[in-house]
A and B are shown apart, each in its own frame.
Chain A
């Protein structure tokens, strides 16, 4: 790779990002400016900025790599991303969240829940869960970028990770945390262009849409020979029902992220910054197309890399074996070997954009969780929360860096670490927050006790399942082995492959519903205030 070309493109990119952030900063001097700036934001900007926050290097590199293993069955996740993550989220949750957030004067997701259920401890505990668990998600986003840099520049992964984290830290410290929608939208636009070119070039390289699919379909016997024992049936067909591959694909990859998106703290706050329902309506159009071009393209290309590597004289292997079982390296290796140099440089900027827009909102969420939700509101800390917030962000960056360094050492070869790490976080958020979040938006009768009980049931059962039953994690964590002498309490049964979400979310829903029959209702005037203006819209 031409390092000079890459450096020039990255420097120009950083300069544009810096200029956009500075312009936005200069435009908003006081609250009225701030309101006007928000109100006049174009729906394209809003939707693309939401999409750029949603889609990260995890989706492109991590899930793209997972697609090279599981095949195009993973496109069920793209369908859920569009239908649930955009349509359902914007139309059925977004509008109510926006209005209720205003009524409750809520500025973070934990604050929304805490104010809605009049519970400071719920706000604090939610903030704490986010602060502790989100570094896992941030770490896999860092990993996605680092794998790409390592592959393109042919340098050590750890050196690339360090270099990438420094770029992100500088961006975050220089003001990338402030909700600057214009930078997000610029980054989202670059992502859109990069992925469009990738799709066109991949299909044209493999002879067109249908011929490319047919060539992959023809490789089914190869897949069955290698992964057949685990239920694989080929890269263009679904794994055998109930097999290990089926359970991982459906319960972890597709449902974990597909449903978990509805209770993502960094995405929910986006609804509160929207100025009217019209912006949300318009964003559905832009967002749907954007997500199709992000995850749809990453997954299709990820699966098709098998044709490229298998037919390439230098490899003659399927993708997983071409990268020495390092799943997260499939997309980086494909881009650096199959695409021209100019595109590799563009894709580098695409991935930088994907990582920066997601990480800045993650660090924003973790910073406010530490400073506002836990310190100011739960503990009742007096004085300026700036120090706690900044320290919180620094701790979160270091923790994410540590995890991104340590996770590849922790899991066995062939594990889709980035995809699994993302799915664990999304699943945990769904189990802990989704029932009470939906209840908060739609039920006037839901009680504080029910919300708290559902939160603990979802969070507790997910953690238990992760540590003691779901073998992919319980085996590596060793706690189950130390206490019970086995890798998983569900060893040799299909339960060992069932994702924590499948247990945690239904349990959380049931407990919320059951306890709601007994708890004390919230004051009527408070409920009326929460739903003010909502019925009209």
Chain B
């Protein structure tokens, strides 16, 4: 298959493309899912961002 020498290399050539297709399909199907953020999450995020900015300033 694909001009390749044995089963294991032909199989992975196909698997490599199929796993990319899996990523594309998953990403496309869930493109708009998971965007909701709760109030609690936003509060945690504010606290986290303050600390992160401090670390970046140190660098």
Give the residue name and chain of the A residue nearest to B48 (CB): A102
Q: When the two chains form their complex, are residues A79 and B16 in contact, meaning their CB atoms are under 8 A apart?
A: yes
CB-based contact A105/B48 at 8 Å: yes
Given contacts A213-B4, A236-B6, contact A285 B12 (CB under 8 A): no
Instruction: Kindly state the separation between the CA atoms of A214 and B5 in the bound complex, as whole angstroms.
Output: 8
Task: Specify the chain A residue showing the minimal Cβ separation from B26.
Answer: A284
Contact with B along A357-397 (1 / 0, CB 8 A): 00000001001100110000000000011100100000000
Q: Is A26 an interface residue (CB 8 A)?
A: no
A296 contacts which chain B residues (CB < 8 A)? 16
Contacts of A533 in B (CB 8 A): 38, 40-41
A236 touches B5 (CB 8 A): yes
For A443, list chain B residues within 8 Å (CB). Answer: none
Shortest Cβ distance from B52 into A: residue: A107
Take A372-B55, A533-B41 as given contacts and tell me if A211 and B9 are in contact as well, using a CB distance cutoff of 8 Å.
no
Total number of A-B contacts with CB less than 8 angstroms?
Answer: 168
Which residue among B2, B15, B17, B41 has the maximum number of chain A CB atoms within 10 Å of its CB?
A: B41
Enumerate chain B residues within 8 angstroms of A105, measured Cβ to Cβ. Answer: 44, 47-48, 51
B15 pairs with A389, CB closer than 8 A: no
Q: Number of B interface residues, CB 8 Å?
A: 45
List 25 A–B pairs whose Cβ atoms lie within 8 Å, in order of A's numbering: A73-B9, A75-B13, A82-B20, A82-B23, A87-B19, A209-B2, A209-B3, A235-B5, A236-B3, A237-B8, A238-B8, A276-B34, A276-B35, A276-B36, A277-B35, A278-B31, A278-B35, A284-B23, A284-B27, A288-B20, A296-B16, A371-B58, A372-B55, A385-B58, A537-B34
A329 at the interface (CB under 8 A from B): no
6 new A-B contacts, CB < 8 A, other than A76-B12, A389-B58, are: A34-B49, A83-B15, A281-B34, A286-B27, A288-B20, A364-B59
Closest 6 CB pairs of A and B: A285-B27, A288-B23, A277-B34, A213-B3, A237-B5, A236-B5
- The answer to whether B44 and A281 touch across the interface, beta carbons within 8 angstroms, is no
Chain A residues near B55 (CB-CB < 8 A): 107, 368, 372
Chain B residues lying within 8 Å of A79, measured Cβ to Cβ, are 12, 15-16, 19
Q: How far is the CA of A405 from the CA of B12 in the complex (A)?
A: 36
- A206-221 interface mask toward B, CB cutoff 8 Å, 1 = contact, 0 = none? 0001111110010010
- Nearest CB on B from A294, distance (A): 12
Residues of B within 8 A of A233 (CB): 5-6
**What class of interface size applies to chain A in its complex with B?**
35 or more
The answer, among B6, B19, B31, for a CB contact under 8 Å with A83, is B19
In the complex the two chains form, is A237's CB within 8 Å of B9's CB? yes
In the bound complex, CA of A292 to CA of B48 (Å)? 33
Given contacts A72-B9, A386-B58, A532-B40, contact A282 B48 (CB under 8 A): no
Name the contact of B9 in the complex, choosing from A86, A238, A280 (C-beta under 8 A): A238
Please, which residues of chain A bring their CB within 8 A of the CB of B20? 82, 288-289, 291-292
- In the assembled complex, the Cα of A331 lies from the Cα of B27 at a distance in Å of 33
Residues of B within 8 A of A72 (CB): 4, 9, 12-13
Residue A75 contacts which of B9, B37, B53 (CB distance < 8 angstroms)?
Answer: B9
Residues from chain B with a CB closer than 8 A to the CB of A283 are 27
Contact present for A103 and B56 (CB under 8 Å): no
The verdict on A16 contacting chain B, using a C-beta distance below 8 Å, is no
Q: Which residues of A contact B9 (CB under 8 A)?
A: 71-73, 75, 236-238
**How far apart are A406's CB and chain B's nearest CB, in angstroms?**
28
